[in-house]
Amino acid sequence: MDAATAVIPPVLGLIGGFALGFRARAWMESKAAPAAKRAAAAKRGDADREAKSIIREAQIQARAEVLRARETFEASVKEQRRELNETLSSLNKREHALSQREDNMDRKADVLDRKADAIDKKAAAAEEAAAAARESAAKAAETQATAEAKLEKLAGMTRDEARRGLLAEAERDIDGQIGTIMRRRRELAEKDADRTARRIVLLSMQRYAGSQAPDAMVRAVTLPGDDAKGRVIGREGRNIRALEAATGCSILVDDTPGTVIVSSADPIRREIAAVALERLVVGGRIHPQLVEDTVQAVSREMDALFSERGSSAADEANVPVSDPETVRALGRLAFRTSYSQNVLRHSVETARFAGMIAAELGMDEALARRVGLFHDIGKGLDETHEGPHAAAGADFLRARGESKDVVDGVAGHHGEVPEQTELALVASVADALSSARPGARMESGDLYVKRIEALEKTALSFPGVSRAFAVQAGRDLRVIVDPDAASDRDATLLASQIARKIEQEVQFPGQIRVTVVREKRCVEFAR
């Protein structure tokens, strides 16, 4: 009982506390409700304002999007309208062009129709004319046959005989006319050609003055004294026999003081023997073994000598040459002769003449000098190179990388190729200037006489020629024709025919002038 009494008061206090707390809370809530309502109303107002702002922004953006979409649509519509207008304009133009073309075609069709009508009319007229012509031809043939039969009876000649007579007479008239035309054309051409050629050749020759001494078949070697002759001969002649055997040359030791003659047809062997002999004499001591060794050493050094001579000649001709094989081939020409003229000196002269002629004609002077220097390089090649020296030289230069102009000029300077270039003609003229000028070359008496006889024999082989004389060392051929057997016009043709035959059958340097003389002399005596 006491325990229950003791619990009740605290419970009642606790209940009263709860009741007081509840009421205090209700009172406090009643006091705070208006403020909360006001805060809620304020938040609701802010939310409304924010919502209205968002709505306005959305409306603005929506309107902007609508405007942009409308502008894009309008631009697209404008572009499509422009393209449509252009298409319509192009179609209108094409339609206009097609209508014009149709009009033109209609006009052309009308013209063609008129032409076809005209052609039909002309064809009909032509058929009528052809029929009339055939009828006339038949009548003419009948009349001609009748006339020919009457003429044969009157003239006593057949038709073939009359035709041959007419042809012979016409041939004589034509030959005479051709001779007259040739003479006139030649006179006109020679006036200009001779004047120009003479000026060019004289200008070239007067600008060049080269000395020329013909090479002999021997070379003299100077000895320091007569005692050196004994060493050269050796005991019982063994030294000189060894030298002759090693070089293939003849060594002549005569009574001329201080001189030994080396003789050989091969200029390279002659040079080797002379140089070897000079070295042996300078050395002082001579015996057969030393002779052979010295000759072999000099033979090996000849390539260097060839290069030296070739390089000097190229420098003298002002022609740059870089290929060693070409320089050596050029240097070998120093030991070659043509009618006693040194071929290397001749090549240098030809190069200079070619350069002068090219300068006068407005051509490439350097290229002309190069062709002139190399034109006879084939004469310095060995026997492995086949063919004439012009063709062999051209093949060699082509293999050494020379230009096509130089190769063609070298190949054609003797006219051995079907097409001659301008450089080949210049080289040919320069070659003739160098070889045919007085004192440049020498030839044997037998060759000279044979050429003179061949020229006169060629002239006498033509009908109507009574006499022929080769004068001026074979440079001028005078032909006398029978005045009763040939006319002046025949003489013109005869000169051309003789010149062509000489070119084909006779070999000669330079050129030969053919002069045909026709003279009728009437002599009477007054007594």
388/410 Cα distance (integer angstroms) = 11
Span 290-321, pLDDT tens digits:
888 888 888 888 888 888 888 888 898 888 98
194/198 Cα distance (integer angstroms) = 6
Please tell me the predicted confidence (pLDDT) of residue 156: 58
- Across 96-110, 337-351, 429-443, least confident range: 429-443
Span 139-180, pLDDT tens digits:
877 777 776 676 666 555 566 666 776 677 666 666 666 666
Please tell me the predicted confidence (pLDDT) of residue 152: 62
pTM given for the model: 0.47
Mean pLDDT of 436-455: 68
Angle at 76 between CA 74 and CA 77, to 5 degrees: 60
Band (518; pLDDT cuts 50, 70, 90): confident
What three-state secondary structure class fits 418?
coil
- Across 20-29, 233-242, 503-512, least confident range: 20-29
Q: Is 58 exposed, middle or buried (0-12, 13-18, 19+ CB in 10 A)?
A: exposed
Nearest Cα neighbor of 357 from 190, 512, 197 is: 197
Span 196-218, pLDDT tens digits:
665 665 555 545 545 444 445 67
407/395 Cα distance (integer angstroms) = 8
Nearest Cα neighbor of 251 from 224, 225, 269, 227 is: 269
What angle do helix axes 159-206 and 2-155 make, rounded to 10 degrees? 120
Span 45-66, pLDDT tens digits:
888 888 888 888 888 888 888 8
- Across 152-161, 376-385, 413-422, least confident range: 152-161
